[in-house]
């Protein structure tokens, strides 16, 4: 619990001499850390279930380079032996813009060789005139502030003009090319990559192009190609979960997945059936009475992937801690399989509170989701605020009060009255 101790000491130093302040912050910090430890199996399962048109501003994606860089449209790409895609797909215009998914909140552990981050997506070339015999960057994995595992593509030449893919640990320089060269008119190409930690040398970027379906949902096979050049190793604790595509080629992209597990990014058919609920936005600490920050519940597969399942009734209840949970407690999921509770409140202060999400109707049988613990903390009283203001201004915070005890007499210093002489 080194991370906890450091945060606790920091907060304690900020509240030195203020026992009540320290107590409240200790409660908040503890709840934050408990929620921070919750992890889904899939860090990102992007099925592009958005409104048709420009991807910019939808689902945390930022598009640069023009209005047609990344267009959401109907249809899906599939690959033999892989679980079917859902949602929609993205059409890249080949003009060279980018679309970036904001970085996630999962941390990379660099303490042991082999630890790493897997990603996968499907690609279909729609315009052969947008690339040539020179490598073009297709995608990059965000690890901390840097982009790693740059995947490249080019025309492999010859009479067939097949596709050749390569990878580099970071952008810049020449990538290492794969020997798997799928035809340019292939219905889809399945790309799998990995950023792998090495404690004995440079970290490794690995690439698989159309890996064998026999490995799907199982263990990592031997990579087609790997690279240890380009950039520096990622730092321990670097956050990941973000991604960047470069629309330098005219192509469609579908089903982007990021995880710590090979099996998660190569799901078998049927593995994306809704089997459980999960809090994808946890309940946050709040005050008694006012509306809490929105809480989001998602239908997921057994592996933790988001499942598009519409009109599943989800009910929230306060399953730990005291008080009454108010608001719209039952809502149906949208087309992406999620529902957002926007008007929740709890009337009683306390710690260790938890919410439970339960599916009903067509969702009967799904496993309930239990949230991280959170706190409802009463605001400071006005008396405390007045005392704090007085202390801040340098004025004494005490006041005289009446007492049954007599006021002390002033000393006479030996003086006598006139009658006493």
Would 195 be classed as within a structural domain?
yes
State phi, psi for 91 to the nearest 5 degrees: -100, 120
The Cβ of residue 394 has, within 10 Å, a number of other Cβ atoms equal to 6
What is d(CA 98, CA 65) in angstroms, rounded to the nearest whole number?
Answer: 7
Domain count, the chain: 2
Return the SS3 of 4. Answer: helix
Co-location of 196 and 98 in the same domain: yes
What is d(CA 175, CA 162) in angstroms, rounded to the nearest whole number?
Answer: 17
Co-location of 99 and 227 in the same domain: yes
Co-location of 154 and 180 in the same domain: yes
What is the extent of the structural domain holding 73?
A: 42-265
- The answer to whether 347 and 323 are in contact (CB under 8 A) is yes
- The answer to whether 220 and 114 are in contact (CB under 8 A) is no
Q: What is the pLDDT along the chain (421 residues), one digit of tens a residue?
A: 333 333 444 444 444 444 444 444 444 444 444 454 344 467 888 999 899 999 999 999 999 998 899 999 999 999 999 998 888 999 999 999 999 998 887 899 999 999 999 999 999 999 999 999 999 999 999 999 999 999 999 999 888 889 999 999 986 667 999 999 999 999 999 999 999 999 999 999 999 999 999 999 999 999 999 999 877 899 999 999 999 999 999 999 999 999 999 998 999 887 777 889 999 899 999 999 999 999 999 998 876 777 878 889 999 999 999 999 999 999 999 878 899 999 999 999 999 999 999 999 988 889 999 999 999 999 876 555 445 444 544 544 444 444 444 445 555 444 444 444 3
The structure tokens listed for 193 are: 């990559």
- The answer to whether 205 and 169 are in contact (CB under 8 A) is yes
- The answer to whether 346 and 320 are in contact (CB under 8 A) is no
| Residue the block writes with tokens 């950039």 | 231
* pLDDT at residue 283, rounded to an integer: 96
- The answer to whether 323 and 350 are in contact (CB under 8 A) is yes
State phi, psi for 329 to the nearest 5 degrees: -90, -15
Would 389 be classed as within a structural domain?
no
Co-location of 65 and 193 in the same domain: yes
Co-location of 306 and 159 in the same domain: no
Co-location of 253 and 331 in the same domain: no
The Cβ of residue 18 has, within 10 Å, a number of other Cβ atoms equal to 15
Co-location of 367 and 225 in the same domain: no
Co-location of 75 and 183 in the same domain: yes
Q: Which of 54, 82, 81 is nearest to 66 (CA)?
A: 54
Would 24 be classed as within a structural domain?
no
- The answer to whether 288 and 346 are in contact (CB under 8 A) is yes
What is d(CA 284, CA 287) in angstroms, rounded to the nearest whole number?
Answer: 10
Co-location of 92 and 240 in the same domain: yes
Last residue in a domain, options 337, 354, 376: 376
At 383, which helix (H) or strand (E)? helix 382-393
Would 129 be classed as within a structural domain?
yes
* pLDDT at residue 28, rounded to an integer: 44
Would 288 be classed as within a structural domain?
yes
Co-location of 96 and 55 in the same domain: yes
59-83 pLDDT, tens per residue? 999 999 988 999 999 999 999 999 9
């Amino acid at each position: 619990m080194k991370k906890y101790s450091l945060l606790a000491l920091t907060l304690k130093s900020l509240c030195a001499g203020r026992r009540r302040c320290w107590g409240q912050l200790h409660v908040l910090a503890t709840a934050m850390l408990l929620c921070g430890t919750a992890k889904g199996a899939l860090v990102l399962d992007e099925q592009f279930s958005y409104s048709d048109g420009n991807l910019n501003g939808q689902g945390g994606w930022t598009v640069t380079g023009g209005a047609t860089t990344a267009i959401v449209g109907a249809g899906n790409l599939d690959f033999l032996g892989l679980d079917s895609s859902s949602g929609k797909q993205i059409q890249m215009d080949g003009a060279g813009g980018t679309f970036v998914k904001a970085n996630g909140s999962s941390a990379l552990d660099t303490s042991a060789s082999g630890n790493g981050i897997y990603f996968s997506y499907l690609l279909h070339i729609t315009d052969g005139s947008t690339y040539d015999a020179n490598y073009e960057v297709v995608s990059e994995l965000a690890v901390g502030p840097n982009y790693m595992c740059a995947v490249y593509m080019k025309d492999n030449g010859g009479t067939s003009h097949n596709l050749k893919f390569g990878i580099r640990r970071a952008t810049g320089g020449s990538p290492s090319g794969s020997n798997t060269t799928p035809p340019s008119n292939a219905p889809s190409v399945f790309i799998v990559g990995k950023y792998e930690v090495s404690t004995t040398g440079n970290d490794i970027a690995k690439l698989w192009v159309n890996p064998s379906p026999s490995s799907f949902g199982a263990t990592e096979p031997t990579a087609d190609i790997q690279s240890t050049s380009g950039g520096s190793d990622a730092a321990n604790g670097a956050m990941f979960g973000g991604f960047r595509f470069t629309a330098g080629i005219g192509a469609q992209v579908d089903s982007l997945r990021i995880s710590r597990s090979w099996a998660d990014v190569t799901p078998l058919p049927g593995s994306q059936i809704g089997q459980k609920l999960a809090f994808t936005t946890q309940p946050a600490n709040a005050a008694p009475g006012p509306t809490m920050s929105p809480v989001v519940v998602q239908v997921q597969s057994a592996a933790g992937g988001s499942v598009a399942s519409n009109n599943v009734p989800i009910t929230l209840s306060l399953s730990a801690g005291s008080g009454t949970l108010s608001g719209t407690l039952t809502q149906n999921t949208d087309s992406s399989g999620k529902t957002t509770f926007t008007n929740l409140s709890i009337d009683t202060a306390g710690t260790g509170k938890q919410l439970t999400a339960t599916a009903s109707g067509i969702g009967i049988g799904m496993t309930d989701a239990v949230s991280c613990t959170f706190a409802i903390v009463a605001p400071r009283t006005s008396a405390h605020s007045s005392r704090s203001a007085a202390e801040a201004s340098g004025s004494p915070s005490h006041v005289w009060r009446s007492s049954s005890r007599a006021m002390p007499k002033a000393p006479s210093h030996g003086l006598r009255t006139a009658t006493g002489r």
